Amino acid sequence: MSAVTPDQLHDDHHHHGPTGLMRWITTTNHKDIGTMYLIFSFIMFLSGGVMALTIRAELFKPGLQIVQPEFFNQLTTMHGLVMVFGAIMPAFVGFANWMLPLMIGASDMAFARMNNWSFWLLPVAAILLISSFFVPGGATAAGWTLYAPLSVQMGMGMDLTIFAVHIMGISSIMGAINIVVTVLNMRAPGMTMMKMPLFCWTWLITAYLLIAVMPVLAGAVTMILTDRHFGTSFFNAAGGGDPVLYQHVFWFFGHPEVYIMILPAFGIVSEIIPTFARKPLFGYASMVYATASIAILSFVVWAHHMFTTGMPAATQLFFMYATMLIAVPTGVKVFNWVATMWRGSMTFETPMLWATGFIFVFTMGGFTGLICAIAPIDIQVQDTYYVVAHFHYVLVAGSLFALFAGAYYWLPKWTGYMYSEFIGKLHFWCSIIFFNITFFPMHFLGLAGMPRRIPDYALQFADFNALASIGAFGFGLSQLIFIVAVVKCVRGDGKKAAASPWEDAHGLEWTVPSPAPHHTFETPPVVK
């Protein structure tokens, strides 16, 4: 085992391949591909962010001022699609590519060439999606959920969107297969499943979710495609079909998709909290089982998105109680994070700020989720800004904050240099303050009855909308701080990071249950 050092395993310099642009196009190196996923997802995050800011500019005050209603609807739709499929999902795949092989002691991902293809499909899909703004009729305006019958009737922007969704789905499925095979087959000797860092577990379970539900989404949009062009009537009542069927198929994908976007975030937070609390993760095994329970339950709650479609009361009750049941394993996780911090010797470097910010604000999104799960309340807040507030607490303060936590945590590992704590903390505090200014007022707007996906509104909603728009521009500008932090880190402005940066700084790097074996992310464990 001592013949090959981990540095040689991961060394690019001994690789006599193409250079320059061709190196990036043809690379099979998991670190290169991870980097490309992260850069791609950040570009998409900025694109989706520009759309969000255009939406918030229009909603700054009542009356139409910046965009026409048709274009506004295209913006809300494309903002959702770009953020979900372009920003959040690929960002987590980028983390998986970078960290999974290092964490389990594998030389690379199992299918290195397929990995390259998985990535390069994404820019193609993104170009298709964005170019739909420029075709006759513009981008699809059916909402990111692409509900029939509207999506069946939209212009050719919808066809580009369907094609883009298919390509992104292929990319996701291949990425997921790669992760499953890597984690199950490529662990170093001694790295048993229950010794894996929790990030590996959360991604393994997420990969199974992806393999199970991405084909369902592909089926849903294919049925729209054939309804549009091949004379079928899956969702056309006049032809014997049912538009509500689309909602069932879509949300059978859509609810597990919510956990695809949050389980890897749970994994990242579960790596960071122990490091900065200087204690091993509390309840490692229960974290694994809670993650699996959430994933399994996520398949039987889909119709909580459809309480107003005329379901029988008994069906509503089933989906209401099943949804509430998910709060149990999620509560186990939050309890375990807090128990990990309990009596820990905590410090609040930038990754820990993002991770604790995640727990606090994401949990608020969890609570409003429970409120939306109550069928009689949901019927009141359906399609209002309350729902918009809820899922932005989950996806921004949840998924996005965890991504930033992980980025600051592993930037020293990725670049070889420490980032600036001042810049990182500035980024965090600006983000969490402006995030709450943007989205907290939306709870009140929703409870007062303001509908979502509407370019104009009654005068009574003016004050909270102005506040939300100010918050949104503050939040958007705050993200430029992250660019500064990353550029300075990559340029090597900070001090040099050790092979195990946080262990170097703190003397501890707990990632596995007590007693924690020595683990640096770079040294494959060896059985003596």
300 residue type, one letter: V
113 catalytic per annotation: no
Rounded to a whole number of angstroms, the minimum distance from the CB of residue 396 to Cu ion is: 17
Scanning residues 221 to 280, which ones bind Cu ion (CB under 5 A)? 255
Contact criterion met (CB below 8 Å) for 96 and 264: yes
Let me know if 15 is a catalytic residue: no
User: How many residues touch Cu ion (CB under 5 A)?
Assistant: 1
State the nearest-atom distance from the C-beta of 169 to Cu ion, in Å. Answer: 19
For Cu ion, give the closer residue by CB, 255 or 333: 255
Closest CB 362 distance from Cu ion, rounded Å: 15
- Catalytic hit among 305, 390, 427, 519: 305
Q: What is the end-to-end Cα distance of the chain in Å, rounded? A: 10
**Choice between 255 and 443, CB closer to Cu ion:** 255
384 SS3 class: strand
Tell me if residue 323 is catalytic: no
Cβ proximity to Cu ion: between 355 and 372 the closer is 372
Q: How far apart are CA 392 and CA 174, in angstroms?
A: 28
Find the shortest distance in angstroms from Cβ 303 to Cu ion: 9
Of the pair 255, 413, the CB lying nearest Cu ion is at 255
CA gap 165, 140 in Å, rounded: 13
Smallest distance from the beta carbon of 253 to Cu ion, in angstroms?
Answer: 11
Closest C-alpha among 409, 437, 438, 408 to residue 423: 408
Neighbours of 136 (CB within 10 A): 7
Asked if 390 touches Cu ion (CB under 5 A), the answer is no
Q: Between 323 and 520, whose beta carbon lies closer to Cu ion?
A: 323
CB 132, min distance to Cu ion, A: 26
Count of CB atoms within 10 A of residue 422's CB?
10
Q: What does the buried/exposed string (b/e) look like for 391-418 if buried means 16 or more CB atoms within 10 Å of the residue's CB?
A: bbbbbbbbbbbbbbbbbbbbbbbbbbbb
Query: Which residues face 384 on adjacent strands?
Result: 451
41, 206, 270, 291: which one is catalytic? Answer: 270
Q: Which residue's CB is nearer to Cu ion, number 255 or number 425?
A: 255
Question: Is residue 304 flagged as an active site residue?
Answer: yes
Identity of residue 58: E
Of 144, 246, 284, 408, the active-site residue reads 144
Active site residue 35: no
Which residues inside 110-139 make contact with Cu ion, applying CB under 5 A? none
Tell me the closest approach of the beta carbon of residue 192 to Cu ion, in angstroms: 34
Write out the binding residues for Cu ion, residues 194-223 only, by CB under 5 A: none
Which residues, 456 to 515, sit near Cu ion by CB under 5 A? none
Min dist CB 327 to Cu ion, Å, is: 13
Of the residues 30, 166, 228, 255, which is catalytic?
255
Sequence-ordered list of residues with C-beta below 8 angstroms from that of 321, at least 6 positions apart, any chain: none
Q: Which of 30, 56, 79, 519 is catalytic?
A: 79
Half-sphere exposure of 271 (CA within 13 A, CB side): 32
Which of 9/327 has CB closer to Cu ion?
A: 327
Sign of CA dihedral 445, 449, 454, 458: negative
Is 23 one of the annotated active-site residues of the chain? no
Q: Which of 76, 77, 330, 399 is catalytic?
A: 330
Q: How many CB atoms lie within 10 A of CB 61?
A: 15
Q: CB nearest Cu ion: which residue?
A: 255
In angstroms, rounded to a whole number, what is the distance separating the alpha carbons of residues 205 and 211? 10
The residues pairing with 417 across neighbouring beta strands, listed in sequence order, are 496
Q: Which two tokens stand for residue 321?
A: 């109680």
Q: State the catalytic residue, choosing from 203, 246, 251, 259.
A: 259
Which candidate in 171, 182, 469, 520 is catalytic? Answer: 171
In the 8-state DSSP scheme, what is residue 345? Answer: -
- How many CB atoms are located within 10 Å of the residue 234 CB? 21
Neighbours of 111 (CB within 10 A): 17
32's tokens: 């290169």
- Give the residue with the Cβ less far from Cu ion, 255 or 392: 255
384 annotated active-site: no
Catalytic site includes residue 79: yes
Q: Is 233 a known active-site residue?
A: no
For residue 233, give Cα distances in angstroms to 154, 229, 416, 466: 16, 11, 57, 44
* Per annotation, catalytic residue among 23, 452, 488, 506: 452
469 tagged catalytic: no
Output the smallest distance, CB 252 to Cu ion, in A.
Answer: 10
228 or 255: whose CB is closer to Cu ion? Answer: 255
The tokens describing 44, both together, are: 């998409």
- Does the annotation mark 270 as catalytic? yes
Per the annotation, the verdict on 41 as an active-site residue is no
Q: Which residues are catalytic?
A: 79, 108, 144, 171-172, 255, 257, 259, 270, 304-305, 330, 333, 452
Give the residues lining the site for Cu ion (CB under 5 A).
255
